[in-house]
Amino acid sequence: MDTEGEATNEVNPTGSLYDEWRALSDEEFARRLQPAGWGPDTVRWICDEALRRLATRAAPADATIPMVLLCPACGHQHVDAPEPDKGWTNPPHKSHLCAACGVVWRPADVPTTGVAAIATRGKADTWDCPRTEGRS
């Protein structure tokens, strides 16, 4: 939405328009929406609907985030891999079992998979993730 209350198709969460609207008091925010004919209940419904739609666009339930995982108790690196002989296919999961000390922990509130090293590197990265051949 631009400053005149007209809807636009572009959302720029770091732009000056975003910053301007985010800094508005509740009263000023409501005042600027009034020319569009939106009362508080309509604005509340629009916000709730936008949040509902964003939630449905979240990563699929079977998507996992690859992470270098270290046991919080003993520091051993945890690398996920299927273990067919134990019946483990490595499905998406949030909790991890340390093979060294037996601690179970949850590094995030989303499914993660322990990897030996991160596959990508950012331009600003200053630390190289060590290669961990031979560790599990």
* Predicted confidence (pLDDT) per residue in 21-52, tens digit: 777 777 787 777 776 677 777 777 777 777 77
The model's pTM is: 0.49
Per-residue CA distances from 80 to 63, 71, 95, 126, 134 (Å): 14, 13, 11, 26, 13
* Same domain flag for 30 and 69: no
* Same domain flag for 48 and 67: no
Q: Name the more confident of 116 and 12.
A: 116
* Same domain flag for 118 and 65: yes
* Same domain flag for 43 and 69: no
Residue 84 burial by Cβ neighbours in a 10 Å radius (0-12, 13-18, 19+): exposed
According to the model, what pLDDT value does residue 17 have?
64
Check pLDDT > 70 for residue 66. Answer: yes
Q: DSSP strand E in the chain: where?
A: 65-67, 69-70, 77-78, 96-97, 104-105, 112-114
Distance CA 11, CA 7 (A): 10
* Same domain flag for 66 and 89: yes
Q: Quick check: is 6 in a domain?
A: no
Distance CA 96, CA 80 (A): 9
Q: Quick check: is 42 in a domain?
A: yes
By DSSP bridging, strand 104-105 and strand 96-97 are antiparallel
* Same domain flag for 46 and 112: no
Q: Quick check: is 4 in a domain?
A: no
Mean pLDDT of 50-67: 72
Closest Cα to residue 80, out of 90, 70, 88, 68?
A: 90
Q: Quick check: is 20 in a domain?
A: yes
Q: Residue 119 is part of which domain span?
A: 59-136
* Same domain flag for 85 and 23: no
Domain count within the chain:
2
Q: Quick check: is 5 in a domain?
A: no
Model confidence band, residue 11 (pLDDT cutoffs 50, 70, 90): very low
Calculate ∠ Cα 108-81-132, nearest 5°. 85
Check pLDDT > 70 for residue 72. Answer: yes
Residue entry with tokens 């690196």: 77
* Same domain flag for 93 and 130: yes
* Same domain flag for 74 and 47: no
Q: Are 76 and 132 in contact (CB under 8 A)?
A: no
Q: Quick check: is 1 in a domain?
A: no
Mean pLDDT of 41-67: 73
Check pLDDT > 60 for residue 100. Answer: yes
